[in-house]
Structure 1
């Protein structure tokens, strides 16, 4: 969803006078977005397929930092339109919820087993 938000707000981002003064253009913005998207996909891969505890904590820290950046940006997003603001807030809430599920007791047990099936659940899959 963050990628959708980036695409929808690309014109506003490129029209920002601070970006024009910095000399960074569309190639830089697209490169940063592609890198960010690839990083998030890699983290979710390592969390969901490899039960990577380090990836879980990296994602948690990145989500908290993203939340700390998004909340003060609400007035700026509101100036760009209520849709942009609402979309950014919905994305933030969904990301926080997804990360919170990674710390439920069943998820912690799954990470402790390195993604294996719980001993009492093996009869289901036999």
Structure 2
């Protein structure tokens, strides 16, 4: 079955958001390191730089696995896992806007842009051609009726 346009757009948006997220993580590293240095109680309970890097890497790997199962395999389960992760992430971001340990300034702006891009990617999973992709029903060829 040929990959529908909505899934191709999902690929571009979702992978673009992951790349933008990785760049945001790299640019935020100095700010995160400073916050960790100013909060030794976090390091004392194990929230050091190694933990932050490992958490980011594991999250990225999980996102790539979910993307693979959505894009290449047409998995409805992976689709709903992504929707749940997006909803949790959106709720978490909105509830932590005033958190002093959270992103601020330009980093917060980029995080909001990433969230909007991910929302658009999730939306692509609910368009009619995407639904056919997940149901594994090929679209009707108009030449069939000639």
TM-score (norm 1): 0.82
Match status 1:82 vs 2:96: no
Alignment counterpart, residue 131 of structure 2, candidates 94, 98, 108:
108
In structure 1, C-alpha distance between the alignment counterparts of 2:68 and 2:143, rounded to whole Å: 24
The count of residues paired between Structure 1 and Structure 2 equals 121
Shift of 1:68: 0.5
Residue 24 of structure 2 aligns with which residue? 5
Aligned 8 A contact 2:132 2:138 in 1: no
Shift of 1:27: 1.5
List alignment gaps of at least 5 residues for structure 1. none
Shift of 1:80: 5.4
TM-score (norm 2): 0.72
In structure 2, C-alpha distance between the alignment counterparts of 1:121 and 1:36, rounded to whole Å: 42
List alignment gaps of at least 5 residues for structure 2. 1-19
Shift of 1:90: 0.5
Deviations 1:37-95 (A, max 9, x none): 01101111110000011110000000010000111222347x85420111011011111
In structure 2, C-alpha distance between the alignment counterparts of 1:26 and 1:36, rounded to whole Å: 15
State the superposition RMSD in angstroms.
2.4
In structure 2, C-alpha distance between the alignment counterparts of 1:8 and 1:51, rounded to whole Å: 34
